[in-house]
Amino acid sequence: MSITIKTPDEVAGMRIAGRLASEVLDMLTAHVKPGVTTDQLDKLCYEHIVNVQGAIPAPLNYAPPGYIPYPKSICTSVNHQVCHGIPNDRVLKNGDIVNIDITVIKDGWHGDTSRMFIVGEGSIAAKRLCTLTYEAMWKGIVKVKPGARLGDIGHAIQSFAEGQGFSIVREFCGHGIGRKFHEEPQVLHYGRPNTLEELVPGMMFTIEPMINAGRREIRELGDGWTIVTKDRSLSAQWEHTVLVTDTGYEVMTLSAGSPEIPAFAQPAAASAPSTAPAPATIAP
Ligand code: MF3
Ligand code: CO
Ligand code: CO
């Protein structure tokens, strides 16, 4: 299989799936607080996706080659867990950080997005990791336009994150997405400018950097899914599903509750009035 190019009709389907995935995170936000278990969050998501959205939680029973079927509807990765954390009876406590990764299928289309949540009051180090990982994702997103290459995205993320003293997980990457959960291409979160596949309008893929406060090495837990940092340092991740448009990018996975987009990624205020003071007039 090669990279699929989405038609305008197909993009419309992806827009709906993407917004729904993001709205699951909006719904969940008020529930992520000390005392809740990740199983309770999973249940809330299942009910919302199935009964309110009329959609399907893509992770449930998902079984790529070499994996046992994933047993839950969402991924909840806490503290030094990097990704694919399986919800269980773990109680979230003050100061924990948790990535919640939602993928829904609506009318056959997949929307895939994740955010970091700080449970109660986070440490300065935890907040810094979460904020800078969010910015790292956007450093990659703003590179998306026709003629750019996948290596430009990876390089932007890597140079930003490593510049802050963090490390990039290499074993997992973003991915093409559409009628299938994981399609070509692989979107690495590290790399060199002007390398790899050239971006073409209609390509659709996720950007989802996993960034560690310590070393980049990871290992898998015995449950066959959960990935953790080897040095047990904190890890953060954010994810959006992004379309290559004729002029740049469109993010599919936005909704009313999406966090504010960093200033460097805001569209330029082309016709905004100048904020410079008007020149003083001098009487002749
Ligand atoms: N949502 C994850 C991603 O961003 C994949 C999770 S696979 C699962 O690609 F089975 F763990 F849900
Ligand atoms: Co993904
Ligand atoms: Co995801």
Q: Is residue 263 part of a domain?
A: yes
Indicate the pTM of the whole model. 0.94
pLDDT in tens, 73-121: 999 999 999 999 999 999 999 999 999 999 999 999 999 999 999 999 9
Is the residue at 162 inside a domain?
yes
> Does 275 have pLDDT greater than 60?
no
For residue 282, being part of any structural domain is answered with no
Residue 2 lies in a domain: no
Predicted confidence (pLDDT) per residue in 158-182, tens digit:
999 999 999 999 999 999 999 999 9
- Ligand 1 atom 11: the closest Cα is on which residue? 84
Scored b (16 or more CB within 10 A) or e, 79-113 reads bbbbbbbbbeebebeeebbbbbbbbbbbeebbbbb
Which residue range forms the structural domain that includes residue 76?
8-268
CB burial class (10 A; 0-12, 13-18, 19+) of residue 40?
Answer: middle
For residue 103, how far is its CA from the centre of ligand 3 (angstroms)?
Answer: 6
- Would residue 278 count as lying in a domain? no
- 144 located within any domain: yes
Residue 275: inside a domain: no
Residue 3 within a domain = no
In whole angstroms, what is the distance from residue 85 CA to residue 220 CA?
Answer: 10
**Candidate from 45, 67, 101 with most ligand 1 atoms within 8 A of CB, to mutate:** 101
Domain total in the chain? 1
Report the pocket of ligand 1 as residue ranges, CB < 6 Å. Answer: 59, 62, 70, 75, 84, 101, 103, 112, 206, 208, 225, 239
CATH number of the domain residue 154 falls in: 3.90.230.10
pLDDT, tens only, 42-74: 999 999 999 999 999 999 999 999 999 999 999
Nearest atom, ligand 1, residue 62 CA: 10
Number of the ligand closest to the Cα of 75: 1
